[in-house]
Amino acid sequence: MVAKLVIKLGIPMEVAKEQLKLSPYIQNYPLVSNMIVSSLKQIVNSIKDIKKSGGEFTDIQDHPMVKRHLERLEDFI
């Protein structure tokens, strides 16, 4: 998916390699990366369910799981 975005948006490969790589934390702690993948799958599946049920979904920041983290980030700032 990242490769498709890089190609579609015309991002130079050097920039993409530097900016879109996995963080060292994820590379060094694979169990954490599995948790992140699992959470992302959960978000994507729930968005699909919202759309299938006819619910309106326009922005990822409206998703309950994402909203929770965004609120924490806002408090941090």
**Residue 67 identity (one-letter amino acid):** K
| pLDDT of 62 higher than 80 | no
Domain locations along the chain: 2-76
- Tell me the angle at which helices 64-76 and 30-52 cross, rounded to the nearest 10 degrees: 120
pLDDT band at 45 (very low <50, low <70, confident <90, very high): confident
Give the type of residue at 45: N
Q: What is the mean pLDDT of the chain?
A: 78
- Report CA-CA distances (Å) from 32 to 8, 27, 28, 35: 30, 9, 9, 5
Note the pLDDT tens digit of each residue in 12-39: 888 888 887 877 877 777 777 778 788 8
Encoded tokens for 17? 């390699």
The answer, yes or no, to whether residue 77 has pLDDT greater than 60, is: no
Distance CA 69, CA 75 (A): 10
Across residues 42-54, what is the average pLDDT? 83
